[in-house]
Amino acid sequence: MRICLDHVARMLTGDRLDNATVSGQGQPWHHLRYEHTAWIREQIDQMDWSPAYRNKHLAALRGVLKEAWKLGLLSTDDHQRAVALAPFGGYREPAGQHVPDTVIGALIAACDADRSPSGAVAGSGLRDAAIIAVLDSCGLRRAELVALQYADYDRARRMLIVIGKGDNQRRIPVNSFAARRPPPAAWRRGSPAAAAAVARCSLVSRAAGRYAPPPTVAPGR
């Protein structure tokens, strides 16, 4: 939202949208009235942005005006008029692309090839394979993934406990590919530091050479 307010502030000052010297912080937002916010909406409408991103700018504008109203800097009437802006319509396909199972298999095979001096799969290889498999299985956000602890995985139920946006907790089932369990010795391979890293980070438990190279390696659904 901060970036959106920066954009709006630069529109109002006539600056380029990438001019980092102008930001939304400290701007007299409480001086805006409907004629100003309607003009801002027109400027947003001219941008080559997706409908969702345009509406995000309107939401940021409404949010800062609401705070001005709560602080008593904007009357109720002026506030209601200023935020009476129609949302942008339209739809865009989600960004990104499908990652086929053969690609996931190739990534896992590359992790298997990461060997320690002893010849065993390195702790970093186990960790990276865990990251790939959990992302493929559960579709987590990046922030959700890096916040995971090993204790968040319920092996018996094959469930992952994730705390996501808004501090909301949810349970996500882990597919059989990501949940496979190796012999306990696999957790103790390598140095104590590597073993500790695996215990903290790895939700995938794999023994060296357990999986064949792609394209036969593919996550089970």
Q: Is residue 211 part of a domain?
A: no
Residue 197 predicted with pLDDT over 50? no
Q: Are both 42 and 119 inside the same structural domain? A: no
Q: Is residue 206 part of a domain?
A: no
Sheet holding 169-173, edge to edge: 153-154, 159-163, 169-173
Question: What's the rounded Cα separation, in Å, for the pair 102 and 136?
Answer: 12
Helix, coil or strand: residue 71? coil
Question: What's the rounded Cα separation, in Å, for the pair 78 and 55?
Answer: 21
Q: Are both 115 and 174 inside the same structural domain? A: yes
The range of the structural domain enclosing residue 47 comes to 2-82
Question: What's the rounded Cα separation, in Å, for the pair 41 and 36?
Answer: 9
Cβ-Cβ contacts under 8 Å for 156 (sequence gap 6 or more): none
Q: Are both 193 and 106 inside the same structural domain? A: yes
Q: What is the pLDDT of residue 218?
A: 37
Q: Are both 55 and 140 inside the same structural domain? A: no
Write the pLDDT tens digit of every residue in 58-78.
999 999 999 999 999 999 999
Q: Are both 110 and 156 inside the same structural domain? A: yes
What distance, in Å, lies between the first and last C-alpha atoms of the chain?
37
Token code pair at residue 5: 């307010």
Q: Are both 108 and 188 inside the same structural domain? A: yes
Question: What's the rounded Cα separation, in Å, for the pair 154 and 179?
Answer: 10
Q: Is residue 22 part of a domain?
A: yes
Q: pLDDT-derived band of residue 4, with 50, 70 and 90 as boundaries?
A: very high
Cβ-Cβ contacts under 8 Å for 110 (sequence gap 6 or more): none
Q: What is the pLDDT of residue 44?
A: 97
| CATH code for position 176 | 1.10.443.10
- CA-nearest of 30, 24, 27 to 7 is 24
pTM over 0.75: no
